[in-house]
Amino acid sequence: MRQFRPLDLLHLRAVVDAAIAPGGEEFTYELAAGDGSSVLWRGYENAGDPRPLTRGPHDHKPRYAPDQTQIAFLRGEGGASQIYLLDRRGGEAMPFTRLRFGVCDFAWSPDSRAIAAVTPIGPEGPLPLAADADAHPAPAGAVHALLLMQMDGTWRQLSPDGVDCAHPAFSADGRRIACLVRRPRDPAACLAGLPTDGGIAQCLVPAEFAPGPADFSPDGALAFAAQPIGALAPALYTVSAAGGEPQPYGTALPEGLAPTLRQAPVYAADGGSLYTLLGEDGTWRLAEVRPQGDYRLRTPAGLSVRRFALDDAGSRAALVVEEHVAPARFELRDPAGRLQLRSRHDDPALTGVHRIMANDLPLPGGGHAHIYLPEAATPIPSVLLASRRPLGFSVQAQALASHGLAVIAAPSGDLHAALGTALATLPQLDRERFGIAAEGDDALLALPLLEDGRAVAAAFTNLPQTAPVCHPSASDAAGYRSAVLLMDNAETLSDLKTLPARLLPAVAELRRFPEEHGPACTWRPSAQAVRLSLEAEWLVRYLAQ
């Protein structure tokens, strides 16, 4: 058995998204490979292993038509995907949209005669592609318009000019679409209703309420999760389709359970309950919540669900399941939570590769971090890993831990608390030597961790150009002993003079990756493997000083 290596990421296969047919007998999921490609796989209940449905190379976000005749999905990469339609009886997928900047998200109408599509637009509005042209990523600052696209190819824009839309959802009668709407110069989004007949958009839940994506009940009400200002955790709410004061859905959930804000809750077919993901001890479980306040967890403890889809009866659940030692997989479960099918996409090249389990690290205030503890001599140097999603499998965490480093993975805003909790509860950690690994905007939030001069090493990848402005340090450089590694694969840091003056004496190395490895934050897998390997080796070297 050998340790996990960064190059192993080229052999990984991860399930990203899943859909289930309204009748529940068929399901489809997106499988992403380590080389950046993704294809759709299809399976049937009690019919053996799933099989490839599309050939890719970049197919994602499958969605079944309510009349069960077609599957819609996005095909393309680089933020310029188009909607394709595939007849469930067979045949080739056919393009449905040809928009200059592609489509980011979409939703079927209840009668399957139209699709609501979210597309980036420029000042001239949504533009169709010329016959011989290819879609390309939207320009910086582009807003996302909501288009209603009929099956006959006609379409119209529903969202007002200059308004940014996300997460569309149709009402049961097809007359309204709910989506999160961000108005010009407003950093937060309200929950709005847009009439499909072209009427005036109405903000139903104000941005101050911090609503998430919503779902319509059969009678037209909206359910959503939100975390208003001053609330300690998100909660479920409902609001009338005509607007008004949002009302809590049922009674408060027990302390420690809170609904997700990243996926809309889903109404049962009779409207008598809501399905959502509830966070519990750092994992997410599918739950059925009733308006009386009682709830039932539909997935077992220890299983963290990233996304879910239900058939129209709510009897079968298609799940994307995460764990720390392997990429996300697909599971099909029945109403009692019993496993009916599990995807298997292990690459033989990873047979016998040792992966390190992560332990939960509860934080003050109810947050969660995770720590990967290798088998190493104590005291163990540690690395704070800024992670937007610390729950799932992390190639970066595995690579660092395989080099004998304890890896503390937490959202960038919780790094201070994660470090304090780890040092207070784990005596085997080295109290004097810890490093930081952060990328992009997370690096800006991690920079203040260097101010006390305790970090021995910091690997900041693709540090944004705004770092000098965003780093509010007034401390003196005297006595500062941190060694800082800046790894840049584009022109983000054209000169060391762009760094805060206080950091200049501390720069130990500057690594640059050639331009052909891609623009910042869109690494090719081979370049990502090289970067992770260099990062781990560099941190080990400087933490050993």
Amino acid at 193: G
The sheet carrying 202-205 orders its strands as 164-170, 176-182, 190-195, 202-205
DSSP of 248-305, one letter per residue?
A: ESSSPPPTT-EE-SSS--EE-TTSS-EEEEEEETTEEEEEEE-TTS-EEE-S-TT-EE
Contact 533, 7 (CB under 8 A): yes
Contact 73, 16 (CB under 8 A): no
State the average pLDDT for the chain. Answer: 85
CA distance linking residue 420 with residue 133, whole number of Å: 54
Q: For the stretch 151-182, what's the b/e string if a residue is b when 16 or more beta carbons lie within 10 angstroms of its beta carbon?
A: eeeebeebbbeebbbebbbbbeebbbbbbbbb
CA distance linking residue 192 with residue 181, whole number of Å: 6
- The per-residue pLDDT for 507 is 60
Contact 401, 454 (CB under 8 A): no
CA distance linking residue 182 with residue 142, whole number of Å: 12
Q: How many CA atoms lie within 13 A of 135 on its CB side?
A: 27
Please state, in angstroms and as integers, the Cα–Cα distance from residue 467 to each residue in 11, 139, 439, 448, following that order.
35, 22, 12, 11
- The per-residue pLDDT for 486 is 67
Q: How many CA atoms lie within 13 A of 383 on its CB side?
A: 33
**pLDDT tens track, the chain, 545 positions:** 788 998 898 899 999 999 999 999 999 999 999 888 999 999 998 778 899 999 989 999 999 999 999 999 999 976 689 999 999 998 999 999 999 899 999 999 999 999 999 999 877 777 787 777 777 777 777 899 999 999 998 999 999 988 999 999 999 999 999 999 998 877 889 999 999 998 888 999 999 999 999 999 999 999 999 999 889 889 999 999 988 999 999 888 888 889 999 999 999 989 999 999 998 777 899 999 999 878 999 999 888 999 999 999 888 999 999 888 889 999 999 988 899 999 999 889 898 899 998 888 988 877 788 999 998 888 999 999 988 776 678 899 999 999 999 999 998 888 889 999 999 999 999 988 889 998 777 877 787 777 666 677 888 876 655 444 333 333 333 333 455 676 654 444 444 444 555 555 556 666 655 443 333 445 577 778 888 888 898 898 888 76
Tokens for 350, please give them.
């990873």
CA distance linking residue 12 with residue 326, whole number of Å: 9
> What one-character DSSP code corresponds to residue 125?
B
- The per-residue pLDDT for 452 is 60
- The per-residue pLDDT for 245 is 93
CA distance linking residue 368 with residue 414, whole number of Å: 9
CA distance linking residue 461 with residue 520, whole number of Å: 9
Q: Give the strand pairing for 353-354 and 2-3.
A: parallel
DSSP of 440-461, one letter per residue?
A: HHHHHHHGGGGTTS--SEEEEE
DSSP H helices in 378-449: 395-402, 415-425, 440-446
* pLDDT tens for each residue of 310-367: 999 888 999 999 888 889 999 999 988 899 999 999 889 898 899 998 888 988 877 7
Cis ω before 348 (30° cut-off from 0)? no
Amino acid at 502: R
* pLDDT tens for each residue of 148-200: 999 998 999 999 988 999 999 999 999 999 999 998 877 889 999 999 998 88
pTM of the model: 0.87
- The per-residue pLDDT for 131 is 73
SS3 sequence of 12-65: CEEEEEEEECCCCCEEEEEEEECCCCEEEEEEECCCCCCEECCCCCEEEEEEEC
Tokens for 255, please give them.
């302390």
* pLDDT tens for each residue of 8-32: 988 999 999 999 999 999 999 999 9
How many C-beta atoms surround the C-beta of residue 383 within 10 A?
29
Give the largest Cα separation in the chain, rounded: 71
Radius of gyration of the chain (CA): 24
Q: Which residue has the tokens 């824009």?
A: 157
